[in-house]
Structure 1
Amino acid sequence: MVKSYTHSLDYTFFALADPTRRAILARLSQGEATASELAKPFDMSLVAVGKHLRLLETAGLVRRDRNGRTVTCHLEATPLAQADAWLAGYRAFWDGNIASLSRFLATWGPERSE
């Protein structure tokens, strides 16, 4: 079970590593779109955008529905929730460190600079 969870996280983070794929996901967070609509803002071919979409689909972040020649894409947020859950442990670590730093700085006020 742990291995498959890690495997899906690997795919999620690999997919999120590319700015084009992050932009596609940001667009899909506003609602479904065709592959052609998703390709418009990018200076690349529809084939290149299709490769990004296939990778996002493999990572489970996008679902593509085909109706004739039209491909409609939908955001699948479950892998993002899994990544957020994994990051939550690190968020708690950093929040604790930042709180400690804030307490230290509060005791080390301007009167110490003299």
Structure 2
Amino acid sequence: MALADPTRRRIIEMLGEGALAAGEITARFEVSAPAISQHLKVLKAAGLVTVEVSGQRRIYRLDPEGLEAFEAWVRQVRGFWNASLGRLEQELAKPEKDEGVA
């Protein structure tokens, strides 16, 4: 998953504040430019960011459609867990049955 990596999550947070050039993103980390480039590539492939080429600069922005799809997935997973946890809570609330153990 694209957001499993803390560096990629931080990039998403940074882009939440506004568009940034690849160099500006790289400058905020203590890892190599190629490493940041790979992270940006993963985010782009996941549909979470878009890139605009402006001269020799690459400007990255959050992709609202990709973020919406991610939010929908989170809602789906949350719904599954809420339903599952609700069933577990019901089972745990049932009185214990005496199994006739001596």
More relative contact order, 1 or 2 (CA 8 Å, 6+ apart): 1
The alignment's TM-score, normalised by the length of structure 1, stands at 0.66
Change (3 A) 1:69 1:18: same
> Residue 27 of structure 1 corresponds to which residue in structure 2?
14
Match of 1:56 among 36, 43, 60: 43
**Runs of 4+ that moved beyond 6 A:** none
Gaps of 5+ in 2: 94-102
SS in 1 for 2:37: helix
Work out the percentage of aligned pairs sharing the same amino acid.
35
Structure number with greater Rg is 2
> Residue 36 of structure 1 corresponds to which residue in structure 2?
23
> Residue 10 of structure 1 corresponds to which residue in structure 2?
none
Count of residue pairs the alignment pairs up: 92
State the alpha-carbon separation in 1 of the partners of residues 43 and 81 from structure 2: 29
Q: Which has the higher helix share?
A: 1
Residue 94 of structure 1, CA deviation:
4.3
SS in 2 for 1:73: strand
Gaps of 5+ in 1: 1-13, 105-114
**Alignment RMSD:** 2.5
